[in-house]
Amino acid sequence: MKPTDTADPDYFHKVVDCQWACPAHTPVPEYIRLIAEKRYSDAYMINWHSNVFPGILGRTCDRPCEPACRRGRVEEEPVAICRLKRVAADYKSDIRDRLPQAPKKKNGKHIALIGAGPASLTVARDLLPLGYEITLFEKDALSGGAMRTQIPRFRLPAEVLNEELNYILDMGVNCRFGEEITSMRDILAEDYDAVFVGTGAPLGKWLDLPGHEEAIDNIHTGIEWLASVAFEHISSVGKNVLVLGGGNTAMDCCRTSKRIGGESVSVVVRSGFDQMKASPWEIEDAMNEDIPILNFHVPKRYITENGKLVAMEFEKVRKEVDANGRRQLIPTGEAPAILPCDDVLCAIGQENSFPWIERDLGIEFDQWEVPVLNKSTFQSTHEKVFFGGDSALGPDNIITAVAHGHDAAVSIHMLCEEKDITQRPDPLTNLSSQKMGIHQWSYSNDISADFRFAVPHADKQVTLNDINVEVELGFDEQLAFNETMRCLNCDVQTVFTDKLCIECDACVDICPTDCITFTQNQDEPELRTTLLAPAENEEQDLYVSDLLLTGRIMAKNEDLCLHCGLCAERCPTNAWDMHKYLFNTAKAENACQS
Amino acid sequence: MQTNDIGLTRRDYEGTLTTLCGGCGHDSISAAIIQAAAEMSLEPHRVAKISGIGCSSKIPSYFLSKAHGFNSVHGRMPSVATGANIANKELYYVGVSGDGDSASIGLGQFCHIVRRRINMLYIVANNGTYGLTKGQLSATADLGSRTKSGEESQFDNIDMATLAIELGASFVARSFSGDKKQLIPLLQAGLSHKGFAFIDVISPCVTFNNTDFSTHGYKNTWENYVALSEIDFVPMREEITTSYGAGKEKEITLHDGSAIHLHKTSNDYDPSDKENALHHINEYKKQGKIATGLLYINQSSSDLHELQETVDRPLNSLGDQELCPGSKALNDINNTFR
């Protein structure tokens, strides 16, 4: 193998599994350490710069970081990264004086953002301090998009939502709320320097089965129904509620129903329990509220009496794997299940929808009616039109929308500065030794052996009776500290300097996971098998040095490293040292600086 | 983690956390012993670790914490090992000493334990310096070698390996703490050998004797050590199925049924010839090279118990009647001298 090029900004970034997995690449271990030091405001600002909505995401994020967490390779449960983010938001002081200000003197460029969800607001946040004038269109009367309409208040209180939305709106945005855009042609005619579309995936899917027409008054799509509840257009639901679908929207629908009059609320899914798309913790929360989840029930028809929905019929199935390894649902032959219901909520998917974009404007759509985009610039086939969030690549999550927003803001800024927007700015990185003394590091490598701490919940009797009472109480400071101590500090990198190595084997002997090997150089596949602990996870890199005095190389298996720093503590020559690697994606403010 | 034949992992063969300097060769020796014992599935309670005084003699703390141990007096490890071995012949004895402990204060003791053919593995962690007293030249420091403070050795060194061969050791090897690939099979072979097995392990003192002018530093050792043969250890439970090319390999069966395979390098080295061994060691030394590997082995030697025709069982398993058979037995013995 060739020696590892650690100057590649992605190399050490990839070792920080949580940050690598995060769409916005938030420096997770860095803010966790700050929380441990009770520097909540500092931790909050790191988050705010990276993911814009720490308080919101600390409650609602899909947490792609947690399945990636290295702690999950040591024991079952990862560090509670998401809920620690909430701690930073909960315990911070007033941070308004730390927020960037929009300059009084504008730069003369005017950008339209369509849809006031996380993607558009991120674009606004990134461009306002640079002097852009921003006009934000929203069909609803309030901003927030899916964060307001799709996430119930018992998961995300209004004051948390409004606080973080206002940080952006207070910078000075022209808000055109309650104004539904019906024509892109009209928008383009207003001659903006760029238009960003962040309209989400607003179209809920219906389940068109026999009886649909007759029962239509009591069938709702999950996202529209949730939005109606959020805006208090709907304040009650029938006693018997069936929620169809196994995603997070279904979980929000059933829990919301339970709070506004649903007495018997069930979730019904076609395939197995383990195939449900909802996050495990959201399923758990629904089950904690005594909501049964019926699996292997395929919906067949709506049953009405006197023109009103009274029940649904389901076929019972079982799972079989066919010769090609494909899952198939085979009817069990049992009698169909008839489940009585007053209302049915269809949470079986959503789509983006652009009936308002005329197809002769130069904005191309593919065969699935999804805009054709450059996936790194988010530019459409129209030079001045950008897409982000769910409207760009289909339904995903808030943190992905934020990441799109940052990238699109970079593109828009470069476009306005007449730069080539495909030449993306480099990330901001810093690598610095953490050595303070022979056995002293500037970070704590005395890692806690505790299992993951659970977030305390409010009393169910209270939360089930008031839709606005938040279920999760969040960690208190002590629990939060205990949880931070589980973080392995993966951003503190083991950096190897081959010129200093005397090949004494001290690091090999001390390493608790045998992740370091000194051996003859070979091609990667052979090398992976000959290490002291074979490197079977090929997604994780090998860190390989140049030739040493003996003609051998040092090969370190990044998969197994616990970042304990013992190699560097035992190394007599500082050939191993622990360096903290900070990585931040370039934002619009960092583009166009050269 | 992998378990061995008796269900233990390598962790079960570890000792306490080392307090030696980071980069000390001695830590690699501990790690090599741990690996060797785990691979051989040694039962920790059947091992006795004995040492004297010095950095080297701390090593037994850092491996096999479930084994028996005796940290004895400076240079007196051989006496304690001899006594223990006579009392219980059924244990594996691992003596760990250093160049100060064995080549200076304990040189006399060393000579006699070799001569008495105690069945044990005797390891000298040899760094050519008195590390514990901050880096004076030791008796194994080569002529002309210099300490960190610049003092040059004016005397010829005591070569522990040639000394052991001349005094009648039946297994003599030299290795390097940095080369576990060689050290581990040598340790395993030494443990399996019946008789006095001696391994001189060059184990650099990273703090006081690791300069470019020291012949016991990492750099000089890496550059100048020559393996007389490459060695594989084949435990007795493994059927030997590999066929080796004629003339290229030599198989040596050890007393417990295990074997070592020597892959000859170009020099056509024969470790069963004592004179040849001494000749090679000296020839390499003249060139500034260090001959390593299995230097000498004599499979047909007898150990102390065989020569003395001692009782078959450990003394602690004998009852009063056997230990003190009474006046009639004494009379019978006396009668044989009449």
Q: From the CA of A18, how many Å to the nearest CA of chain B?
A: 26
Q: In this predicted structure, which of A280-284, B252-256, B275-279 has the lowest mean pLDDT?
A: B252-256
CB atoms A569 and B27 under 8 Å = no
CB atoms A504 and B204 under 8 Å = yes
- CATH number for the region A204-349 comes to 3.50.50.60
pLDDT tens, B134-149? 999 999 999 999 989 9
CB atoms A504 and B25 under 8 Å = yes
- Compute CA distances B61 → A172, A323, A470, B48, B70, whole Å: 69, 58, 56, 12, 10
Of B30, B218, B223, Cβ closest to residue A504: B218
CB atoms A571 and B23 under 8 Å = yes
Q: Note the CATH architecture for domain A100-202+352-416.
A: 3-Layer(bba) Sandwich (3.50)
Say whether residue B222 is in contact with chain A using an 8 A CB cutoff: yes
In the numeric block, the tokens 């039109």 are attached to A385
The answer, yes or no, to whether residue A262 has pLDDT greater than 70, is: yes
| H or E, element range at A544 | strand A542-544
The answer, yes or no, to whether residue B246 has pLDDT greater than 60, is: no
The answer, yes or no, to whether residue B239 has pLDDT greater than 60, is: no
Q: For residues A384 and A191, what is the distance between their CA atoms, to the nearest angstrom?
A: 10
Query: Strands A308-321 and A337-340: what pairing?
Result: antiparallel
- Mean per-residue pLDDT, B282-290: 92
pLDDT tens, A459-503? 999 999 999 999 999 999 999 999 999 999 999 999 999 999 999
- Mean per-residue pLDDT, A535-542: 92
CB atoms B206 and A504 under 8 Å = yes
The answer as to whether B157 is a domain residue is: yes
CA torsion angle A436 A438 A444 A448 (round to 10): 180
CB atoms B218 and A569 under 8 Å = no
CB atoms A572 and B204 under 8 Å = no
Q: Which pLDDT belongs to residue A445? A: 85
Contact between B15 and B58 (Cβ < 8 Å):
no
Residue of A nearest to B31 (CA): A509
All CATH 3.50.50.60 domain ranges in chain A, comma separated:
100-202+352-416, 204-349
| Residue numbers in B near A569 (CB within 8 A) | 22
CB atoms A570 and B25 under 8 Å = no
Q: Which residues on adjacent β-strands are paired with residue A219?
A: A344
Q: For residues A105 and A341, what is the distance between their CA atoms, to the nearest angstrom?
A: 59
In one letter, which amino acid is B50? I
CB atoms A505 and B180 under 8 Å = yes
Q: Which pLDDT belongs to residue B248? A: 62
The answer, yes or no, to whether residue B231 has pLDDT greater than 90, is: no
* 3-state SS record for chain B: CCCCCCCCCHHHHECCCCCCCCCCHHHHHHHHHHHHHHHCCCCHHHEEEEECCCCHHHHHHHECCCCEEEECCCCCHHHHHHHHHHHCCCCEEEEEEEHHHHHCCCHHHHHHHHHCCCCEEEEEEECCEEHHHCCEECCCCCCCCECCCCCECCCCCCCHHHHHHHHCCCEEEEEECCCHHHHHHHHHHHHHCCCEEEEEEECCCCCCCCCCCCCCCHHHHHHHEEECEEEEEECCCCCCCCCCCCCCEEEEECCCCCEEEEEECCCCCCCCCHHHHHHHHHHHHHCCCEEEEEEEECCCCCCHHHHHCCCCCCHHHCCHHHHCCCHHHHHHHHHHCC
The answer, yes or no, to whether residue A118 has pLDDT greater than 80, is: yes
pLDDT tens, B119-175? 999 999 999 999 999 999 999 999 999 989 999 999 999 999 999 999 999 999 999
Q: From the CA of B220, how many Å to the nearest CA of chain A?
A: 11
CB atoms B24 and A509 under 8 Å = no
Q: Which pLDDT belongs to residue B247? A: 52
The answer, yes or no, to whether residue B236 has pLDDT greater than 80, is: no
CB atoms A506 and B178 under 8 Å = no
Q: From the CA of A33, how many Å to the nearest CA of chain B?
A: 27
pLDDT tens, A318-350? 999 888 888 889 999 999 999 999 999 999 998
Say whether residue B258 is in contact with chain A using an 8 A CB cutoff: no
| Residue numbers in A near B18 (CB within 8 A) | 510
The answer as to whether B313 is a domain residue is: no
The answer as to whether B315 is a domain residue is: no
Which residue range(s) make up the domain with B246? 10-305
> Residue B234's pLDDT band (boundaries 50, 70, 90)?
confident
CB atoms B28 and A570 under 8 Å = no
Query: What ipTM is given for this predicted complex?
Result: 0.86
CB atoms B178 and A569 under 8 Å = no
Contacts of A441 (CB under 8 A, 6+ apart): A434, A435, A492, A565, A578
Q: Which pLDDT belongs to residue A394? A: 87
CB atoms B222 and A503 under 8 Å = yes
Residue of A nearest to B203 (CA): A504
Contacts of A104 (CB under 8 A, 6+ apart): none
Q: From the CA of A458, how many Å to the nearest CA of chain B?
A: 42
Q: Which pLDDT belongs to residue A163? A: 97
> Residue B223's pLDDT band (boundaries 50, 70, 90)?
very high
Mutate to test the interface with A, among B30, B35, B222 (most CBs of A within 10 A): B222
Of B27, B207, B219, Cβ closest to residue A506: B27
CB atoms A509 and B28 under 8 Å = yes
For CA atoms A523, A526, A528, A530, give the dihedral sign. negative
Which CATH number fits the domain A492-588, given the four candidates 3.40.50.300, 3.40.830.10, 3.30.70.20, 2.60.120.560?
3.30.70.20
The answer as to whether B34 is a domain residue is: yes
* Chain A contacts in chain B segment 23-82 (CB below 8 A): 23-25, 27-28, 30-31
* Domain CATH for B228: 3.40.50.970
To the nearest 10 degrees (0 to 180), the angle between helices B274-286 and B160-167 is: 160
Say whether residue B180 is in contact with chain A using an 8 A CB cutoff: yes
- The angle subtended at Cα A79 by Cα A74 and Cα A83, nearest 5°, is 165
pLDDT tens, B306-338? 999 999 899 999 999 888 999 999 999 999 998
Q: For residues B287 and B265, what is the distance between their CA atoms, to the nearest angstrom?
A: 18
Q: How many domains does chain B have?
A: 1
- Mean per-residue pLDDT, A58-72: 96
User: Among candidates A278, A349, A284, A274, which has minimal Cα distance to A319?
Assistant: A274
Name the range with the highest mean pLDDT among A65-69, A348-352, B270-274: A65-69
- Mean per-residue pLDDT, B50-67: 96
The answer as to whether B29 is a domain residue is: yes
Q: Which pLDDT belongs to residue B267? A: 64
Question: How is residue A242 written in tokens?
Answer: 């069936």
Q: Which residues on adjacent β-strands are paired with residue B47?
A: B92
Give the count of Cβ contacts less than 8 A between chain A and B: 55
The answer, yes or no, to whether residue B238 has pLDDT greater than 80, is: no
Say whether residue B177 is in contact with chain A using an 8 A CB cutoff: yes
For CA atoms B131, B134, B135, B138, give the dihedral sign. negative
Q: From the CA of B326, how many Å to the nearest CA of chain A?
A: 55
pLDDT tens, A408-445? 999 999 999 999 999 999 999 999 999 988 778 999 88
Q: For residues B139 and B98, what is the distance between their CA atoms, to the nearest angstrom?
A: 11
* Percent over 90 (pLDDT), chain A: 92
The answer as to whether B175 is a domain residue is: yes
CB atoms A509 and B21 under 8 Å = no
Q: Which pLDDT belongs to residue B338? A: 87
| Residue numbers in A near B26 (CB within 8 A) | none
Mutate to test the interface with A, among B27, B211, B214, B219 (most CBs of A within 10 A): B27
- Mean per-residue pLDDT, A18-44: 97
| Residue numbers in B near A510 (CB within 8 A) | 18, 27
A220 burial (CB, 10 Å; 0-12 / 13-18 / 19+) is buried
Reduced to 3 states (helix: H, G, I; strand: E, B; else coil), residue A158 is helix
CB atoms B28 and A506 under 8 Å = yes
For chain A, the C-alpha Rg in angstroms (whole number) is 26
Of A503, A509, A571, Cβ closest to residue B218: A503
CA torsion angle B267 B273 B278 B283 (round to 10): -20
What is the average pLDDT score of chain A?
A: 95
> Residue A212's pLDDT band (boundaries 50, 70, 90)?
very high
Say whether residue B125 is in contact with chain A using an 8 A CB cutoff: no
The answer as to whether B329 is a domain residue is: no
Q: pTM of the entire structure? A: 0.89
To the nearest 10 degrees (0 to 180), the angle between helices A158-169 and A118-127 is: 40
The answer as to whether B144 is a domain residue is: yes
All CATH 3.30.70.20 domain ranges in chain A, comma separated:
492-588
Mutate to test the interface with B, among A505, A507, A511, A547 (most CBs of B within 10 A): A505
Q: For residues B191 and A35, what is the distance between their CA atoms, to the nearest angstrom?
A: 53
| Residue numbers in B near A503 (CB within 8 A) | 178, 218, 222
* Percent over 70 (pLDDT), chain A: 100
